Amino acid sequence: MKQRFLHIWLIFFIIIFSIFPTLQVHAEKNAEVKNVIFMIPDGFSASYATNYRLYKGKEAVWDTMLVGMHRTYSANTPVTDSAAAATAMATGFKTNNGMISIAPDGKKIKTILEVAKEARKGTGLVATSTITYATPAAFGAHVISRKDESEIAVQYLDNEIDVLLGGGKTYFTSLLESGKQKGYEIVTNKTELSNVKMPQKLLGLFAIEGMVPELDRHLTSEPSLEEMTKVALKMLNQNKAGFFLMVEGSQIDWAGHDNDPAWAMKDIEAFEKAVEIAVDFAKKDKNTLVVIAGDHDNGGMSVGAYDKYDAKLDVLRKVKSSGRYMEMQLDKNRSNAKEILKKHAGIDLTKAEVKRIEQADKPVIAINRIVSERALIGWTTSQHTGVDIPVYAFGPGSELFKGLHDNTDLPKMMAKVMGVNFP
């Protein structure tokens, strides 16, 4: 009898422990989502993801979080710019290229950041461009033209976004005293940022215009995207109601415009470090959703090129400076091109390649094309393309992002998991 009783209890415990993981997963899916961290690698597509995996030599942190894709077209063209793409990702509505969170008919459209603020959540924007550039602007401002960065800066401070970190000092010069009166602590370099004592509001302006490429950051006192993300999360986590934070790896896009593969890979690496900070935060917090999605592709980058079934991304690991920086090191006649490419890219130029740089209308393009050829990376354009973009998600609510979506679906799903009212 006793043996039979023990046998029954043993079966009971086996059943309970076999379903426990399922119960745990279900609980995590239905956990309260107080915080959303939206991370945008600007200009990033599947080809960038593949080349970065080859460059790194192993999977990126987001590879296991791939859940779907999204379409990027704008209201007036199949190929979007960053303003229209970010507007869709911030408001859930399509607009024309160049417009910032304003519909084609001129009406302002409420953003996911503004809705989070109405719910008394903390709000933040982090970017390596000017903080007033198209992508961050779409979450915190409304202007007809993305070029109106001075007005965007005014709207940020009027809306009292809690954390603003990036470049763009020039657009805040006349606003700094007003910012201090509104309670912003203002920091201008890496050391000041690391010494912040957790004020209620923080404005970090680390460059006159955009910040430098990650390849060249060691030449400056600018913080990394990882460091800015870490401080932003500490700041916003003070809000008991939760927060919405947008973090942009802005210069992946700029590298695409320059067709600079080494700059692109290094800035993706910097973005990945910021993602790791966000995911670690979400793992510990248990009620934070992390969403990662580029806004569009840039450059039409290929994996392999020049009639060869191969890719040599290891070439890019030897590159120590951006093409723009290497161009700046050329002398007046560009007679030192061979020395510059050897020093900064580990490349021994042929006589024909030296001549290409010496005779080029834009030496930076010639330099970047030579580096791309060595790495077997091709480019179809120096502008955006209209391909679909990968979507990655981690944390409670991530299952909503499975499948092929429109970019306008992303903020709607974020609002749903946060439980906030969205138009």
Q: Using an 8 Å Cβ cutoff, are 246 and 125 in contact?
A: yes
**Exposed, middle or buried, 25 (CB in 10 Å: 0-12/13-18/19+)?**
exposed
Question: How far is residue 350's CA from residue 386's CA, in Å, rounded to a whole number?
Answer: 36
Catalytic positions, please?
A: 82
pLDDT for the residue numbered 198? 86
Q: What is the dihedral of CA 71, 274, 254, 172, to 10 degrees?
A: 110
Q: Using an 8 Å Cβ cutoff, are 247 and 225 in contact?
A: yes
Question: How far is residue 213's CA from residue 147's CA, in Å, rounded to a whole number?
Answer: 21
Q: List the 122-130 sheet strands across, edge first.
A: 184-187, 201-205, 163-167, 122-130, 243-249, 35-41, 288-293, 389-394, 66-71, 403-406
Question: How far is residue 314's CA from residue 56's CA, in Å, rounded to a whole number?
Answer: 9
Under DSSP, the state recorded for 397 is T
pLDDT for the residue numbered 4? 52
Q: Residue 35's beta-bridge partner residues?
A: 243, 288
Residues in the chain: 423
CATH number of 34-300+382-418: 3.40.720.10
Would you tell me the crossing angle of helices 82-91 and 409-418 to the nearest 10 degrees?
30
The tally of CA atoms less than 13 A away on the side-chain side of residue 265 is 28
pLDDT for the residue numbered 18? 46
pLDDT for the residue numbered 26? 36
pLDDT for the residue numbered 423? 77
Question: How far is residue 278's CA from residue 128's CA, in Å, rounded to a whole number?
Answer: 17
Q: Using an 8 Å Cβ cutoff, are 169 and 205 in contact?
A: yes
**CATH 3.40.720.10 segments of the chain:** 34-300+382-418
CA quadruple 132, 144, 419, 296: dihedral positive or negative?
negative
Give the pair of three-digit tokens for residue 396. Answer: 């409670």
Per-residue pLDDT of the chain (423 residues; tens, 9 = 90+): 445 544 544 444 444 444 444 333 333 445 579 999 999 999 999 999 999 999 999 999 999 999 999 999 999 999 999 999 999 999 999 999 999 999 999 999 999 999 999 999 999 999 999 999 999 999 999 999 999 999 999 999 999 999 999 999 999 999 999 999 999 999 999 999 999 998 889 999 999 999 999 999 999 999 999 999 999 999 999 999 999 999 999 999 999 999 999 999 999 999 999 999 999 999 999 999 999 999 999 999 999 999 999 999 999 999 999 999 999 999 999 999 999 999 999 999 999 999 999 999 999 999 999 999 999 999 999 999 999 999 999 999 999 999 999 999 999 999 999 999 887
Give the pair of three-digit tokens for residue 146. Answer: 């993305």
Give the pair of three-digit tokens for residue 3. Answer: 């043996």
Question: How far is residue 19's CA from residue 392's CA, in Å, rounded to a whole number?
Answer: 27
Locate all alpha helices (DSSP H) within 170-224, ordered by sequence.
Answer: 176-181, 190-194
Question: How far is residue 19's CA from residue 40's CA, in Å, rounded to a whole number?
Answer: 37
Please state the pTM of the whole predicted model.
0.92
In 3D, which of 371, 374, 375, 343 has the Cα closest to residue 357? 371
